[in-house]
Amino acid sequence: MTLYTEMIHENTILHFKNGYEDLLQFYPIEHPVVCQLGGNNLERLGKCVEICQNMGYDEINLNVGCPSPKVQEGSFGACLMKRPEIVSEITKTMCSHSKIPITVKCRLGVDDLDSYEFTSKFIQEVSKIGGVKHFILHARKAFLKGLNPAENRNVPPLRYDWVLQLKKDFPHLEFTINGGFKEIDKIQEILKETNQLKGCMIGRLSYDNPWILSDFDRVFYNKPNPRLSRREILEIWGQYGDFVMEKNKLIKPPTLVKPVINLFAGEKSNAKYRQFLGDPQNFKNNAKFSDTILSCLEMYEEINKEALDKKPA
């Protein structure tokens, strides 16, 4: 599996008041990890590429798929898809500053630029002129007006067949598919359909239902699962939280809570678990992040011990 950062704007990296080291820091256990950048300035993005490379990232991704109003105001994200020549120039510059892969995350189109021909030409130009060999495709178009970011993730229809056709039309390129994957069998199905896609991005699924990842080693990598219970996962996460908060003073409990806030999705009294970890006072009452996690385990054990100690296959 590959971990992606959230999109980070070029100016955030270059002008972060305490220096970019804490902002971009990650730990060996997270490899392979990709830094996802946003922006449109050639010089600044070139500098960001050099910084990310020196920080030890395995890959750098340019996001031209985000349609949020704030991103549009900055003239980056999905609106750049309307100008493939600019995207090509950006990625060409990024590649010239990098010894690691430069990839692009995009949509299948924007507003009325939503034909297969448009998408195909975009891929052709950004790969041939911009030097990009791997595209992460959110398999739906984006509306720059009329839909909020959440609606843009769900309302435009999915077109998985376009992604599969792009792989056929550009066999020398790599494609990762994204959008709408909520079940393991659907991920298996799309990856086995051609056996040629590089992967399937499941950022939203891993946030909404992280427990589903507990069976991925067996299903997708033909390896035995670690078979950790949710209790064991949370105990390890608590210790990890102590470690990273000591190393990086920018990290606060709400940031560390996000990856595990939905660990009991679909289970009885999931709301009580979420409320406990979502209450800042519970972290103020304890000296360490791990202490609050242990308190949460004690609370939830009285409610749903079965889910707490259940192990994956």
pLDDT, tens digit, 9 for 90 and up, residues 100-144: 999 999 999 999 999 999 999 999 999 999 999 999 999 999 999
C-alpha torsion 117→123→125→127, nearest 10: -160
- What stretches of 125-207 adopt beta strand conformation (E)? 134-138, 174-178, 199-201
8-state DSSP, 142? B
> In this structure, are residues 307 and 262 in contact, taking their beta carbons and an 8 Å threshold?
no
* pLDDT tier, 194 (very low <50, low <70, confident <90, very high otherwise): low
The one-letter code for the residue type at 189 is: E
DSSP three-state, residue 139: coil
pLDDT tens digits along 269-288: 999 999 999 999 999 989 99
> In this structure, are residues 219 and 188 in contact, taking their beta carbons and an 8 Å threshold?
yes
DSSP element (H, E) containing 59: strand 59-64
> In this structure, are residues 175 and 139 in contact, taking their beta carbons and an 8 Å threshold?
no
DSSP secondary structure letters along 76-118: -GGGGGG-HHHHHHHHHHHHHT-SS-EEEEE-S-BTTB-SHHH
pLDDT of residue 279: 95
DSSP three-state, residue 233: helix
* Pairwise CA distance, residues 246 & 307, whole Å: 31
Res 45 pLDDT > 70: yes
Q: Report the Cα 155 to chain-centroid distance in Å.
A: 20
pLDDT tens digits along 132-188: 999 999 999 999 999 998 999 999 999 999 999 999 999 999 999 999 999 999 999
* Pairwise CA distance, residues 75 & 209, whole Å: 33
- Percent of the chain exceeding pLDDT 90 equals 93
Please give the mean pLDDT across all residues of the chain: 95
* Pairwise CA distance, residues 167 & 218, whole Å: 27
* Pairwise CA distance, residues 195 & 188, whole Å: 10
Lowest-pLDDT range, 73-87, 90-104, 125-139, 189-203? 189-203
Handedness of CA 159, 165, 167, 170 (dihedral sign): negative
Tokens of 66: 């985000």
CATH numbers and ranges of domains, the chain = 3-203 (3.20.20.70), 230-309 (no CATH)
- Catalytic residues, which ones? 66
> In this structure, are residues 257 and 237 in contact, taking their beta carbons and an 8 Å threshold?
no
Lowest-pLDDT range, 41-50, 216-225, 236-245? 216-225
